Structure 1
Amino acid sequence: MRTKIIILGLIISALFALLAYIPFGFQSLSTPPLNDHILIYFFLISLGLLISYFAAYRLIKEEKSQRISKIIVLFALIFSVILILIPSIGSADVFNYIFRARIQTVYGENPYLVATEGFKSDLFYNFSPQEWNYLPMQYGPLWTSLSIGFSYLAQDSFFWNQFLYKLLALLTNFGIIYFIWKILGIINPDYRIRGILLYAWNPLILFEAVNNVHNDLLMIFFVVAAIYFFLKKKYLFCLLLLLFSVLVKYITVLLFPVFLLFLWKEIIVPGERIKIFIKAAAILLVAAVLLYLPFWKGTGIFQGLADQSKIASYMNLSLFPSFLFNFILSLKSILTLTLDQIMKIVSIGGMIAFAIIYFWQLRLIKQKGDDFVHRNFLILLGYILYAACFLQPWYFLWFLPLAVLIDKKYFPEFVFLFTLIGLLSYVFIVMSIILIVFFLALLFLSLTTKKNYFPPFLGFH
């Protein structure tokens, strides 16, 4: 078996190396400049990666030897080094991070108040996605502080500015591997090797995290670390880590009620509950104030976040919004709505649908208080499927690291499915069509096999 795993690792390494031949067009939001040859080339590489990934999982499905885990981690490092050496292919976000930090380090302005569009002579202007230049900083102050630190270190160096972000992505990725190993050691030791391979060799995670360098990885790293320390009963530290996640990218604020409800159930003594909650509130408040303080100019610093939350595209709708969009579009002649009005209704409808799912999940926690990891997973997946109106493949980084921790029926298939969807989105562009096709495929599969494949896919449990 070791020989077969090594061969598959070498095949995956070669396939990742072949990505170096894909040209990348700067000033592009996501996807390289496309023609038929590049589409076919990327599709074949993606197909090869997925087949090899699936074959490796099937091969080690019943394996419990610790030696295999070392081989898995070693090849994960090889994959990462290859992807670090290849310029970012699927997104120019790393240049956007660099450019935004330079607003303060080079021009002395507050990145939360001043957008990048006014600095056309900057070294990185022609590399940063033009679609985002009108927005001031929309991320949390922890990410902004890291970006500014990198900018001071790298100065005008094109190489070092990129390398520091890629190094952070590499370290973060292996930090997640470490915590997945530790968490599975607590909740399901027999699933450790499978869980590690599902994450460490996942081609979508490697592509989006290490090559495209999205800050979503750092956000979910803090969530995974927080889950580990929660399981170790280090409650104050786990809540601090969750705050750090929120202060990278705000979406994980949705997980705070989940953590607090489980914490309430874990601590039986009422006096101890109150003491921990007061300490936690004080620590989190001080940490948030310290991180916001260098940038604070009133609530105006959230303008970038507010503007970004309004962005929606019918080409990037998730599952529920795409169904709602097509339903309303079919009534367009009756309702006489413009496309912008339809998109606004879809955005509101998606948020309402997610709110129902969200509070339902919180209610189930109060009633059952069952699987902690699974509930966090369902919240993030629920947002993606029901509320996301500008869905990008790297958003799958929000829930895939949690999915590999869950040893439930259909979950490995779920990981493979969303890995496939994420990679195919670079080939077929329209995310909503891909999701609808797979939804219909699952429906057909459920009807023909008389098995219910929908709970992990739609967030029901």
Structure 2
Amino acid sequence: MKGVFSGINKILIILGTASALLWGWGTWMSFGIPQSVCAFLDKATFGLMHGEVMRMAYGFHYDTNNHDMPTVIFLIVFAVLFLIYLCAVLKCEKSRNGKYALGIILFFAVIFRIILLPGVLIHENDIYRYLWDGKSAIHNINPYKYAPADLFMYESGFKEDFYDEYRDITIKGKDFTAHDKARLDKLIALRATNPTYYARIGHWQVPTIYPPVAQFVFALSAWLKADSIILMKIIFALFDLGVISLIILLLKYLGKDPRMCIVYAWSPLVLKEFANSGHYDPVVIFFSMAGIYLFLRKKAWQGMIVVALATLSKFFSVVFLPFLTRRYKKSFLLIFIGIVILAYYPFFLWDRTGVHGVFEGLTTYNQQWAYNASLFALVRTSLNMLHLPVDSTMVLSKLIVAVAYFILLIVLFFKNDDSDTG
């Protein structure tokens, strides 16, 4: 046992324990810390951060005003967690010993996720859409067919576009058929089973944007237990642990230190976004990593199937396709295309939704919103200086970024094979 508590192992145990305590504090803070504890901490810190310390009593509950949430304290804790994380990564990178280090890393990776899973979502609400989609699907209603706001329009009898002043959005008017009305009546009954979660759905005027594999995972969670945030987060956490396993396999295959899986396994950003916030990205990351691993092992057919599943989880995975298939017959692309079409085809037929209906939400989302802005934000800021209409800068910025991306993709694709690593 002496070897377990020496060298890099000892350092990882200390850093892992410190991180676990801080994540525990973050989870406790998400629920709201008793005012008596906040008052004690306020005195202990000489009232230097009185307002922020006392806000810890409110927690991050959905109905809590953003200004009352202990965001500053959480960011301080988050920053400390990042420092501990960087220290752990650097120690692993420099150390060449530590027989039990990988086991310690994996142990704490699991512990961190267990600590975070029951916590209140911190500044997030995406999971409420996942729950609604899953519940709709298991009750035989196509999640792509209706926007949550369609229930309001149907009940109110509005057939023209309606401006919602409270949310500052315009809800598209529709003329519902008898078939639609029967389905909407069913959705209204489903809403009644948990009106609170329904009211928390973001962008409720837009039908769902999430691809078929994501919908399958949402439906699986609803089938096991509808409206269960903790269950859905557990499912995502299992995929997340699967990602760590795949990273270890990839590192070993490439002759790298498997302990460097700590870069992902202990990442505060990964832990917060997935284990606490309940984003479903571990699903797409899992299939993406599995696809890359299979291609590296020369299992191209299986790899192509898995990359298709990754793309059907979230579309960004398609960027791997040109690089993974460059040494294989172009007919392999037919496998990818075929799987994507087969996955979407039932949704086209289901509830007579059609191609336009299935992609209506995604089309609207791409026209009106942006995420992971980076270059897009820079381009749009530059275009705004030209005093163009807001809608024009959105579309034009996305077009410019898309062209730049495809140029980069072509350059990388035709780059000399001598620079390839596998």
Where does structure 1 lack aligned partners over 5 or more consecutive residues?
265-272, 373-461
Structure 1 residues 287 and 324, CA gap change in structure 2 (3 angstroms): closer
Q: Which residue of 1 aligns with 2:254?
A: 187
Q: Which amino acid aligns with 1:179?
A: L
Q: Which residue of 2 aligns with 1:305?
A: 362
Shift of 1:51: 0.8
- Say which SS state the counterpart of residue 85 (structure 1) adopts: coil
- Distance in 2, Cα, partners of 1:141 & 1:37: 35
Deviations 1:278-321 (A, max 9, x none): 5x4665466445533432233122222222222335xx672322
Match of 1:145 among 198, 213, 216: 216
Structure 1 residues 126 and 351, CA gap change in structure 2 (3 angstroms): farther
RMSD, aligned α-carbons: 2.4
- Distance in 1, Cα, partners of 2:279 & 2:236: 8
Stretch moving more, 288-297 or 339-348: 288-297
Identity among equivalent positions (%) equals: 23
Greater Cα radius of gyration, structure 1 or 2: 2
- Distance in 2, Cα, partners of 1:167 & 1:37: 25
- Distance in 2, Cα, partners of 1:287 & 1:149: 20
- Say which SS state the counterpart of residue 371 (structure 1) adopts: coil
Structure 1 runs (4+) deviating above 6 angstroms are none
Q: Which residue of 2 aligns with 1:458?
A: none
Instruction: Indicate whether 1:340 and 2:395 are aligned.
Output: no
Superposed counterparts of 1:210-289, under 5 Å = 210-261=275-326, 263-264=327-328, 273=329, 278=331, 280=332, 284=336, 287-288=339-340
Shift of 1:199: 1.0
- Say which SS state the counterpart of residue 208 (structure 1) adopts: helix
- Distance in 1, Cα, partners of 2:334 & 2:394: 41
Q: Which amino acid aligns with 1:257?
A: P
Instruction: Indicate whether 1:357 and 2:415 are aligned.
Output: no
Instruction: Indicate whether 1:26 and 2:26 are aligned.
Output: no
- Say which SS state the counterpart of residue 49 (structure 1) adopts: helix
Match of 1:59 among 75, 91, 94: 91
Q: Which amino acid aligns with 2:271?
A: L
Structure 1 residues 25 and 311, CA gap change in structure 2 (3 angstroms): farther
Instruction: Indicate whether 1:175 and 2:242 are aligned.
Output: yes
- The two structures have a TM-score, normalised by structure 2, of 0.74
Q: Which amino acid aligns with 1:127?
A: Y
Deviations 1:380-399 (A, max 9, x none): xxxxxxxxxxxxxxxxxxxx
Structure 1 residues 5 and 67, CA gap change in structure 2 (3 angstroms): same
Match of 2:385 among 326, 330, 336: 330
Q: Which amino acid aligns with 1:110?
A: N
- The two structures have a TM-score, normalised by structure 1, of 0.68
- Say which SS state the counterpart of residue 35 (structure 1) adopts: helix
Q: Which residue of 2 aligns with 1:114?
A: 146
CA contact (8 A) 2:244 2:265 kept: yes
- Distance in 2, Cα, partners of 1:110 & 1:355: 33
- Say which SS state the counterpart of residue 94 (structure 2) adopts: coil
Instruction: Indicate whether 1:295 and 2:366 are aligned.
Output: no
- Distance in 2, Cα, partners of 1:362 & 1:81: 41
Q: Which amino acid aligns with 1:151?
A: A
Q: Which residue of 2 aligns with 1:75?
A: 108
Where does structure 2 lack aligned partners over 5 or more consecutive residues?
1-6, 31-58, 153-187
- Distance in 2, Cα, partners of 1:148 & 1:141: 10
Count of paired positions: 341
Deviations 1:221-277 (A, max 9, x none): 10101111111111111111101101111221222122111x33xxxxxxxx5xxx6
Deviations 1:45-87 (A, max 9, x none): 1111111101112222222434101000000000010011212
Match of 2:79 among 21, 29, 47: 47
